[in-house]
């Protein structure tokens, strides 16, 4: 059995085992998983149409959407991105990514995402008003990925994620795995299918001095240290299936329609549709909408469990640096609507050479 078939069988087993552990989107399980930052797309291009284009995404951003697209890396790609998350809350996301072609058909990628919550005052039962200084929570995800093109039509890969969450006196660390496949077909290679299984891994548990308390036992003068038990939490596993179609026109104009279905193990299932219009790859406009049960209800009702309103939009401006080598510099922007906040704004810079 050659390497190609072994790889496909391995991916299939991961999908089967992972899908067997998934439950249909269930609002009653919302909030029971940890590491929810794994569900946040930190990149401007793919978030500009709600990740609708996961079946045909190419390059470094695919490490979050569908890692199979990393195999399309031409040589080297760098991305920097900043997200103002739920504008008005002072939460910022900083992201950096690097990918490199390592063989005729394979590519390696590294992606780092860090959430910054600013300084939060320290309070205790004895000092509920603060005055004891401040602390800053830290959420950090590091993804190491590899993807390979097995033919002109089939591309697949894996991502290993290192998860770190911490405050001044507690922390939790863990690992997770993503796997994804893209299938490209059509006379002009303009039909795309994709499937990806995300955030598969063992449970995480917090530990540290923050879980310890000093107590007095009645009738004794000795002080004892007691540690509170902490329940382990699961990761927010997802199974995403998508498809897309490129309408190709003269003068290098392109319009792509795409959509996907997301099965969430701890929240409601979602359906996303979107489109991207490219004017000679100099200007790209995109928009998408993500629907889930209750998203049109009032935010104060029991059916509404997501602050997002579903709409997303964005654009990219690209400048070729060297036509012979195909190197490109681009600036990307995306906006996602929310209730009771001023949306999520992401701006990024990308260079490929």
**C-beta neighbour count of 173 within 10 angstroms:** 14
pLDDT at site 26: 58
Which has the minimum average pLDDT: 25-39, 187-201, 233-247?
A: 25-39
Are 114 and 82 in contact by the 8 Å Cβ rule? The answer is: no
The pLDDT confidence band at residue 28, using thresholds 50, 70 and 90, is: low
Please say whether the dihedral angle defined by the alpha carbons of residues 321, 323, 324 and 330, taken in this order, is positive or negative: positive
| Mean pLDDT across 339-352 | 95
Range of the domain at 324: 3-352
The pLDDT confidence band at residue 302, using thresholds 50, 70 and 90, is: confident
**C-beta neighbour count of 227 within 10 angstroms:** 11
Report whether pLDDT(57) > 50. Answer: yes
- Cα–Cα distance for residue pair 313/333, rounded to 1 Å: 8
| Mean pLDDT across 55-79 | 96
pLDDT at site 106: 96
Are 152 and 189 in contact by the 8 Å Cβ rule? The answer is: yes
Report whether pLDDT(20) > 50. Answer: no
CATH of the domain at 242: 2.40.160.60
Query: Who has greater pLDDT, 3 or 116?
Result: 116
pTM to 2 decimal places:
0.88
- Cα–Cα distance for residue pair 209/216, rounded to 1 Å: 18
Q: What percent of the chain has pLDDT over 90?
A: 69
Q: Over the chain, what is the mean pLDDT?
A: 89
Question: What is the total count of domains within the chain?
Answer: 1
Are 274 and 288 in contact by the 8 Å Cβ rule? The answer is: yes
The pLDDT confidence band at residue 2, using thresholds 50, 70 and 90, is: low
Which of 340, 279, 265, 352 lies closest to 315 in space, CA to CA?
279
87 exposed, middle or buried (CB, 10 Å; 0-12, 13-18, 19+)?
Answer: middle
Angle, alpha carbons 303-305-307 (nearest 5°): 125
């Amino acid at each position: 059995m050659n390497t190609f078939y072994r790889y496909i069988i391995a991916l299939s087993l991961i999908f089967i085992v992972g899908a067997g552990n998934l439950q249909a989107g269930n609002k009653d399980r919302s909030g029971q998983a940890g590491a929810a930052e794994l569900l946040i797309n930190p990149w401007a291009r793919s978030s500009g149409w709600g990740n609708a284009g996961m079946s045909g995404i190419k390059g470094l951003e695919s490490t979050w959407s569908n890692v199979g697209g990393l195999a399309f890396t031409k040589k080297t790609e760098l991305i920097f991105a900043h997200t103002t998350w739920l504008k008005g809350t002072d939460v910022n996301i900083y992201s950096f990514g690097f990918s490199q072609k390592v063989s005729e058909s394979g590519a390696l990628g590294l992606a780092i995402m860090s959430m910054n919550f600013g300084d939060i005052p320290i309070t205790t039962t004895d000092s509920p008003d603060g005055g004891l200084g401040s602390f800053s929570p830290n959420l950090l995800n590091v993804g190491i990925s590899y993807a390979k093109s097995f033919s002109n039509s089939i591309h697949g890969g894996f991502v290993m994620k290192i998860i770190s969450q911490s405050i001044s006196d507690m922390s939790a660390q863990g690992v997770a795995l993503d796997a994804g496949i893209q299938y490209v077909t059509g006379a002009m290679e303009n039909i795309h299918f994709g499937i990806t299984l995300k955030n598969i891994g063992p449970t995480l548990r917090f530990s540290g001095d923050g879980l310890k308390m000093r107590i007095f036992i009645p009738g004794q003068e000795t002080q004892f240290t007691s540690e509170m038990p902490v329940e382990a939490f699961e990761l927010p596993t997802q199974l995403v299936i998508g498809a897309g179609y490129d309408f190709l026109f003269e003068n290098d104009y392109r319009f792509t329609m795409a959509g996907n279905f997301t099965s969430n193990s701890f929240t409601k299932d979602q359906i996303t549709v979107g489109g991207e219009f490219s004017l000679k790859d100099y200007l790209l406009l995109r928009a998408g909408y993500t629907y889930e049960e209750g998203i049109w209800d009032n935010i104060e009702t029991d059916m509404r469990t997501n602050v997002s309103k579903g709409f997303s939009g964005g654009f990219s401006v690209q400048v070729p640096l060297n036509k012979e080598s195909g190197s490109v510099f681009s600036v990307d922007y995306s906006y996602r609507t929310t209730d009771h906040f001023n949306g999520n704004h992401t701006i990024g810079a990308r260079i490929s050479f």
